[in-house]
Chain A
Amino acid sequence: MDYTINELMVVATARELRDGELGFIGVGTDGRAFTLAVGIPMAAARLAQRTHAPNFTIFWNNLLSPELEQMPPRLTQHYLTRWPSSYQPVSCVDKNDMLSKGRFDVSFDSAPQIDRYGNMNITAIGDYKKPKVRLVGCLAQPDHFAFIKRPIIITDLKKRTFVEKVDFITSVGYLDGGDSREKKGLKPYGPWKVITDKCIFNFNSENKAMQLESLHPNVTLEEVLDNMSFQPLIPDTIPETEPPTDEQIRLIRDVIDPNKILLLV
């Protein structure tokens, strides 16, 4: 069956989610940024629940374990307020405590800049004090990278996104590689996978540099390298990303996102 790249990214993300885990989904602005930050993670969480991880739950907006089967038709304020869920904290203090106490297993993060060691920038392009482009700030992304065991990065592969060094470290991945992250006093976590529209990366267990894990079907290595400003580690044989099954596609199209809210662009 034909599938879209978004559907492939949903399936690849879902594959990383384990039964019984708790995931943190952040907020996205509009358009593609929303699809990457919210749409794909939400669809992946629901697909995981429907398939191999029925007890996977999420925290999103102010909702702990919202009923994903009862996802509202729109994501405006009123629908968020009344989305059936297990828990709506009385303020963000509770969410922040859950974060820094380490109660989340995975998070889903994207950024306009990411470097070889998985450091992320969502704050400023250029000089911080007088930037070429001012971005949104930090949100809880630094907290995800500091306190969550396996942050999953979801972003499109672009030369201007995958840079040798981010202009500003909003969120610490593996910092300068090796054990530099732990030396700063951070827990030995760090980004788990990078799921893009062309390929999937992980991080080398020794030097912590980004390395190619698999190429999506019909994508060449050359195409990947052409869309990056640094050279990742490349294994001798590169597997192909497992494509979605017919059943997974059916679930995404008919059950999970029939109104095209999550995977619009």
Chain B
Amino acid sequence: MEGSATPPTGASRAPARRTTIYDVAAAAGVSKSLVSLVLQGSPRVSPARRDAVQKAMSELNYRPSRAASALAGHRSRTIGVVVDDFRNLWFVDLLDGMREVFEPLGLTVTVADSAHESEGGLRVIDNFVASKADAIVIACEPTEAMTVAQDIPIVIAGNRAVTIPRASVIASDDARGARLATRHLIDLGHIRIGHVTGDGGSAALRSSSYEATMLEAGLVPLVTRGSGRTNEPDGFLATRRLLEDDVRVTAVFAANDTMALGALAAIHDAGRRVPEDVSLIGYDNSPLASSEILRLTTIEDNSRDVGRLVAQTVDAALEGRESSDLALVEPRLVARSSTGVPIRS
């Protein structure tokens, strides 16, 4: 693919021909490799030679072929992010936050989904390494395949049940967020508050914090699950079970917004209205929650801040600097129209 750099020719007099890296090297009296190093911003180039190259570039009006400069480096200047469900949109804010930090550094974020892979994410990780990703961010529950040590930095985004040796964990404070959600419903006057949940590190933290908050308030925790996932069909299943178990439930706290979408359907199916009969709160403040069709009260996990911290941690690792192993970001409540005071019967 090196083909976009034209082979060396004589002096460039024909105005139509684009100046190449060889022309710059010749004019500056240096090698092509040294021009490459300058283009990559390598610190190994002396100021004098850097100045000579930059002077030649501006004199020749050289516009580096971006493909050529991408190929010149040892690394691809990309950060690979692994997710397990493209439909769960919490990762969009995470990427946005990462971008803010990576953009000025000339790093680009690419995403792979490990869900449909029989080898449990092994191929995804292998191929990121093969395509010379500079670092990997795991934004899903790490599988055993992902715990194998790699030569490049790995950072985990979000609270996970499994950890990876030497990998930092940057997450939103799930326990704090679940307390905010449960307190919001208690403060509105709800007593029979159910929680629908599934597997995973974040869900477990949210669930135990919900239980602790209920018990502290002298209320009885009521938890149901679907098939163990935290997706829309499981939100539906778990909420249907919840409403069957206790018809007097007036509020539902879903482990995430995607589950809340399923929960809302189950509440409607039971012939009950949100928020008049049942209040519903999600978690993540994903784009789904702010949609006109849901207008869901939720917990903003500030994954944009998580993304920024993840990127700073990746940058520190790439530069060989120390950074903390664990950082927690403070969540906050976003009240929309899916929660309200309970009707007293």
A and B form one complex: no
